[in-house]
Structure 1
Amino acid sequence: MASATPLTSAVVLAAGHDDVSRSLLTHPLGGSTVVGAAVGTVTRVVDPSRVVVVVAPGDTAVREALGDGYTYVEQAEPRGTGDAVLTARAAIEALGTDRVLVAYADTPLLRPDSLRGLLHRFTLKDADLAILTAVVDDVAQEYGEYGEVVREATPSGPAPIIAIRDQAEQHAPREGRTELNVGAYAAHPGLLFGELEAMAADDEHRLTELARRIIGRGKSIHSYQIYDTSEVRGINTPEQLAQAADIVLARLFVPVKNTDTQIVFGTGGWRALIGEGYTLANVRRLSQAIANEVTRRGLEGQGVVIGGDRRFLSRESAEAAAEVFAGNNIPVTLLRDDVPTPLVTFAAPYLQAAYGIIITSSHNPPQWNGMKVFRADGSLPLDDETNRYQDEANALSIADVVTLDLARARETGVVVDRELDEPYIDAIEEIIDVDAVRGSGLRVIVDAMYGTSQSTLGTILTDMRVRAEFIHAQHNPLFGGIAPAPDSERLHALKGLIERGGGRYSLGMATDGDSDRIGIVDEQGEYVEANDLLLLLYWYLHEVRGERGGVVRNLATTHMLDRLAAHFGEESREVKVGFKHVTAGMEEIGAVLGGESSGGLTVRGWLLGKDGIFACALVAEMLARTGKTISALRQAIWDVTGRLYMAEADVPATPEMRVEVPRRLASEPLTHVGAYPVASVSHIDGTKIVLEDGGWALLRFSGTEPLLRMVAEAATPEQARELLDWLKGFVTA
């Protein structure tokens, strides 16, 4: 039978040794204060009601910084760290405890796992004392205030600790790798306070002396080693505070694994690795948070519509979400089989549902899944709304989730299974000129990328009398081992089939894993960049279909759209990355087209979200009505707008880069990128540098992946590559 978890209390030393160190404790650090960060780490391991904070006489600053919920005791005189711990004796003994954790308020960079590891080691080794240690380089320069752990040399096995040598005891500079006593301890309360009292009788008040005494008495002392030396840094000077702020900021961008199951929305919904952040438990928690919003707003009668794509766990997740909404007395339309994301975007306003939800991770690799949430009008919620959903979901425990068994929910009609393919297809065919395509003789190959487009897009193409062949259309949750993104690198099979067709095919089409993005290959087997496709469709909508209005693009999309809009006398608008910003911008200026360079687009009068299936149908209509090939149309429009060439690259975004790159951009105002004068710099989303000659360069950290995205556009491929090389050099310098 497993033993009960030992009852733990903690002492946090926050009295400081002088006025400067005390004042630094309440300085801001990473959204909190120095002392707030240190105590916050302790309370991830020890219940706040069992934390005793030792403060200076008459202190109010630390108390105000931390607030209520802790026990505060005052150290009458600054006689040393051992005396400070002894001051907490009565408070700790009143709590009743099996073990005591001692930590310092001026070491706020320790992680909860380090303290947790220390406590585990203390208990599992049945130690009398356990200390936290770290092995570091450059000890004299950065860690001179820490004591050195001295071990006995042994031929094999763990070397026992025989002493902790203070800095004052060093007779020669410490060189090479040195093991340091970081200053966190775990001990039994009787031993801890008994030894500290005996030390005080001998006028010894240094906490480090505790280890020496325990070793001298033949008691057991063990250590837990931390490997991230950034945790070791204490804050006793303004310079150390500035360094700590950098470390805290950098940590915010480190992908956290294993214990981090937080739900975090990116630019297109919540996405996470399956089995890590993406779990059925998190699906249920997020569904409960959205169900709470439905209930607060009194929209239960409208219900929700839920679907899933072909990814691993999508069907199980859709059913789990349905059980949560049903458990909250909210009717559910559960879409049968796998469905495209745009069908759910359509279904929300079609059914007048409060929300549309689809389980998908779009174009991400197969080991990912996620959830997209759509408003009643089919638009994506903006950041303030998704922040509200994720914060509420993360605050919920699984015990807070209300569910109704799916079988019972179906029996009672709270969950209704339904297909909406036909209404969705009919709605597309009301906008697309199906009759104009019939008789055109178009023949296409469609790469479904193992996604969800075959049924709906196949029906539309058949209705148009387009002869269509599908590849990669079977259900394969591994997507052939690649991320299902319709870009040039992943469409080799499609390009090869068209090249080998000898003019047999009019074009190739591709949709991503959830069918909201499009990729096009022309009649010669050449991949058509999404930027060029947006240019073609804007020209077609404006000039052939006669639909007047401007265009909206995100800041990573070609400026040739602006040139074409100016040629038409129309407005163009640049927005942040995220299709929700594109559709919001379209509404503001009444744009006819909105799109992004990654292959997402929509048109006025259709969905408030991107739709690769609709886009494929619109391309077929464009070819049929103009009677021209993609390559011919593209050249004709370039004759109007001129050419711009884009170069892109992604590099892994280290935490240090996320701190240093924005700082350098802020501290060194750019006047030139290489030899090219800078006209303006925008910070609406990353940093976009616009040059006087019309070229531009963008640095933007991804919101969903640990990547720094770099994009450049210029009048020649060489200049675009030159700008991209400059960006790479800037971030790696």
Structure 2
Amino acid sequence: MINIKFGTDGWRAIIAQEFTVENVIRVGYGTALWLKEQKPKASVVIGNDPRFAGKLFAETTAKVFANAGIKVFISSTDFVSTPMVSLGTVLLKADLGVIITASHNPPAYSGYKIKASYGGPATPSMIDAVEELIPEKIPLDLLSIDEYKKQGLIEEINLEDMYIKHVEEKFDLDAIRNSGMNFAYDAMYGAGQNAMRRLFPDATFLHCDHNPGFDGQAPEPIHKNLSEFSELIKLSGDIASGLATDGDADRIGLYDEKGNFVDSHHIILLLIHYLHKYKGLSGEVITTFSCTQKIADLCAKYKLPQTTTKIGFKYICDLIVNGGKQVLAGGEESGGIAITGYIPERDGIWIGLTVWEFMAKTGKSLTELIEEVYAEVGSFAVERYDLHLTEEKKQAIIKACKNGLYSSFGSYKIAQVEDMDGYKFHLGNGTWVMIRPSGTEPVLRVYAEAANSADAFAILDATKATLLG
């Protein structure tokens, strides 16, 4: 039997290799044991994304919980997004949520994410406790779904309907629909497709079919995976903005009216600008170590407290739930963003609709709104290289960073170093380069911020030359 370990956001493995019915039963059993220890009479919400055999794995998980005497609310639709499970957990006052998803991983993968009762990622201590309880082998004699339904232990619930109703209550959808602006949505064959068709039937849709293989591409909403969407917007000439979401619809990709990618750094700044300057809301802003310095600059200008965390949404969620402060927004470079007035969870659709509402209410284009942000903090660009190296070379570079062996990268002199999560080398005038190893593969991630893309890439090129020597 394999040793099942949860990563930064759930357990993920290749379908039919390690992600099997037997192993899902083991994980479900460990989770159910932990939940019963916390609360003898507990309930759980369960759903799955559109990947291969998602429904089979979700129903298997449901049967394991029901077998333990835990009340299960299982999604009645073919698939749901991660935020739908998280929101459902809160609205149904359940004690836990489980979604079968591998998020933005390649199509061969599936996964198992645990959500806490507050509707956000389970804490690392919760995950550690569940891992300890996963048995090596568990010969469970499970009944059929129908049998558990008869016993009142499994109940089907339409999580998509609950989500749509919540969106309709919280957003001025009429303002968006009647703005005269045309919008586009790329589901990347992921779990957001049906909800967006229902919310905006007149939008332009791409990759909104049920395709468990995601057409062979990892459903990660980054520009290199969205070139077809970008071209669609450019060629149309009348699409005001394009929204893309990943496999389980918790991460966002965004495009302006010219088909230019708008990264998470800019999205977070737009959200702070809209929520505080336009809507009069206040609170702490929490961002991860790889985010732009401009966020701290805008917070200082608006007199909003700002906190930087290690990379990973779980650190943001922990502060939202346990930090004791009102949080306005929290976000990470990779497209996971949460805002006030909602659950402490990433939600690509929710964030996209917030930006579209901002555009609709002001009558301004995304380019014009970004210019408003630039007027406050100046223009900037953050770019990234992923260097594929041998593990030995990767470790050697990290050791050199740790031992302070770099004083410059080409002509860029290092003024200061931060090592919260990886190594951030400040180069003066608000520019920096950051080096961080991947925890799962022989990849070194190198980020740079400068006044524009050309300057950021120049820093990246100089850094790469120094590192690879």
TM-score (norm 1): 0.61
Cα distance per residue 1:170-200 (max 9 Å; x no partner): xxxxxxxxxxxxxxxxxxxxxxxxxxxxxxx
Tell whether 2:308 aligns with 1:574.
yes
Separation in structure 1 between the aligned mates of residue 125 and residue 397 of structure 2, nearest angstrom: 26
Q: Does structure 2 conserve the Cα–Cα contact (< 8 Å) formed by 1:550 and 1:572?
A: yes
Q: Which residue of 2 aligns with 1:439?
A: 178
Pairwise mapping of residues 471-620 of structure 1 onto structure 2 (< 5 A)? Answer: 471-502=206-237, 504-587=238-321, 588=323, 589-620=325-356
Q: Where does structure 2 lack aligned partners over 5 or more consecutive residues?
A: none
Q: 1:413 — aligned with what?
A: 152
- Decide whether aligned partners of structure 1 residues 543 and 400 sit closer, same or farther in structure 2, where only a CA change above 3 A counts: same
Q: Specify the code of the residue in structure 2 equivalent to 1:641.
A: V
Deviation at 1:445, TM superposition (A): 1.5
1:651 to 1:282, Cα distance in 2 relative to 1, 3 A: farther
Number of matched pairs: 466
Q: Counterpart in 2 of 1:667?
A: 403
| Partner of residue 79, structure 2 | 338
What's 2:190 paired with? 451
Contact 2:412 2:459 (8 Å CA) reproduced: no
| Counterpart pick for 1:314 among 46, 50, 54 | 54
DSSP-derived class of the 1:357 partner:
strand
Query: Does the CA contact (< 8 Å) of 2:96 and 2:114 recur in 1?
Result: yes
- Give percent identity, aligned residues only: 34
CA distance, structure 1, for counterparts of residue 74 and residue 465 of structure 2: 51
Equivalent in 34, 42, 56 of residue 302 of structure 1: 42
| 2:439 paired residue number | 703
**Separation in 2, partners of 1:341, 1:705:** 25
Q: Match of 1:426?
A: 165
Partner residue of 1:628 out of 364, 372, 375: 364
Q: 1:388–1:628: structure 2 CA closer, same or farther, 3 Å change rule?
A: same
Name the residue aligned to 2:66: 326
Partner of 2:91: 350
Name the aligned partner's letter for residue 161 of structure 2. E
Match of 1:267 in 2: 8
The one-letter code matched in structure 1 to 2:73 is: T
Deviation at 1:388, TM superposition (A): 2.7
SS in 1 for 2:384: strand
CA distance in 1, matches of 2:74, 2:32: 15
| 3-state SS of paired residue (2:107) | coil
Indicate the SS of the match to 2:250. coil
Letter in 1 for 2:2: T
Counterparts of 1:288 and 1:708 in 2: how far apart (Å)? 36
Structure 1 residues 426 and 650, CA gap change in structure 2 (3 angstroms)? same
Cα distance in structure 2, aligned partners of 1:510 and 1:438:
18
Task: Provide Cα deviations, 1:254-295, integer angstroms capped at 9, x if missing partner.
Answer: xxxxxx833222222111222333222221111111111111
Q: 2:355 is paired with a residue of what secondary structure?
A: helix
Which residue of structure 1 aligns with residue 199 of structure 2? 460
Matched letter for residue 515 of structure 1: A
SS at match of 1:387: helix
1:391-402 aligned at under 5 Å gives the runs 391-393=132-134, 396-399=135-138, 401=140
Q: 2:111 aligns with which of 360, 366, 370?
A: 370
Moved more, 341-350 or 708-717: 708-717
1:656 corresponds to which letter in structure 2?
E
Deviations 1:20-77 (A, max 9, x none): xxxxxxxxxxxxxxxxxxxxxxxxxxxxxxxxxxxxxxxxxxxxxxxxxxxxxxxxxx
Tell me, what secondary structure is at the counterpart of 1:696? strand
SS at match of 1:398: coil
- Provide the C-alpha distance between the structure 1 equivalents of 2:72 and 2:442, rounded to a whole number of angstroms: 36
Please say if 1:279 is aligned against 2:20: yes
User: Which letter maps to 1:383?
Assistant: P
Q: Residue 438 and residue 477 in structure 1: after superposition, are their counterparts in 2 closer, same or farther (change >3 A)?
A: closer
> Take 1:585 and 1:690, find their aligned partners in 2: how far apart are those partners?
26
Structure 1 residue 704: Cα displacement: 4.2
Shift in Å, 1:385: 2.4
Residues 326 and 404 in structure 1, CA contact (< 8 A), matched pair in contact too: no
Question: Partners in 1 of 2:204 and 2:59 — Cα distance?
Answer: 33
Q: What displacement does 1:706 show?
A: 4.1
Give SS of 1:496's match.
helix
Instruction: Give the distance between the partners of 1:419 and 1:356, measured in 2 at CA.
Output: 14
- In 1, Cα distance between equivalents of 2:339 and 2:345: 9
Q: Does 1:683 align with 2:430?
A: no
Q: Is the 8 A contact 1:688 1:697 kept in 2?
A: yes
C-alpha separation in 1, matches of 2:142 and 2:208: 35
Cα offsets for 1:465-497 (capped at 9, x unmatched) = xx3122211110111111111111122222222
* 1:285 aligned partner, one-letter code: R
Q: Which amino acid aligns with 2:331?
A: G
Instruction: Mark the CA change 1:605 to 1:668 in structure 2 (over 3 Å): closer, same or farther.
Output: same
2: CA distance between counterparts of 1:403 and 1:691?
Answer: 60
State the alpha-carbon separation in 1 of the partners of residues 63 and 28 from structure 2: 9
Report the alpha carbon displacement of residue 438 of structure 1 after superposing the two structures with TM.
Answer: 4.5
Q: Distance in 2 between matches of 1:410 and 1:708?
A: 49
Aligned residues: CA RMSD: 2.1
- Gap runs ≥5 in structure 1: 1-259
Conserved in 2, the CA contact under 8 Å of 1:714 and 1:720? yes
Check conservation: 1:594, 1:601, Cα contact below 8 A: yes
Q: 2 CA distance for matches of 1:313 and 1:690?
A: 47
Decide whether aligned partners of structure 1 residues 289 and 368 sit closer, same or farther in structure 2, where only a CA change above 3 A counts.
same
Higher radius of gyration, 1 or 2: 1
2:169 aligned counterpart, secondary structure: helix
1:388 aligns with 2:124: no
* Superposition deviation, residue 400 in structure 1: 5.8
Q: Secondary structure at the match of 2:307?
A: strand
Name the CA distance, whole Å, in 2 between partners of 1:469 and 1:718: 32
Residues of 2 paired with 1:429 and 1:705: CA distance? 41
* Kept after mapping to 1: 8 A contact 2:193/2:209: no
Query: d(CA) in 1 for partners of 2:389 and 2:114?
Result: 28
Specify the SS of the correspondent of 2:106.
coil
Report the Cα offset of residue 658 of structure 1. 4.7
Matched-pair contact (CA < 8 Å) for 1:288–1:402: no
The 3-state SS of whatever aligns with 2:327 is coil
Amino acid at match of 1:694: G
How far the C-alpha of 1:645 sits from its partner, in A, is 1.7
Amino acid at match of 2:427: L
Once residues 191 and 363 of structure 2 are traced to their aligned partners in structure 1, the CA distance between those partners, rounded to angstroms, is 29
* DSSP-derived class of the 1:552 partner: strand
> How far off is 1:343 after superposition?
0.3
**Shift of the alpha carbon at 1:612?**
1.0
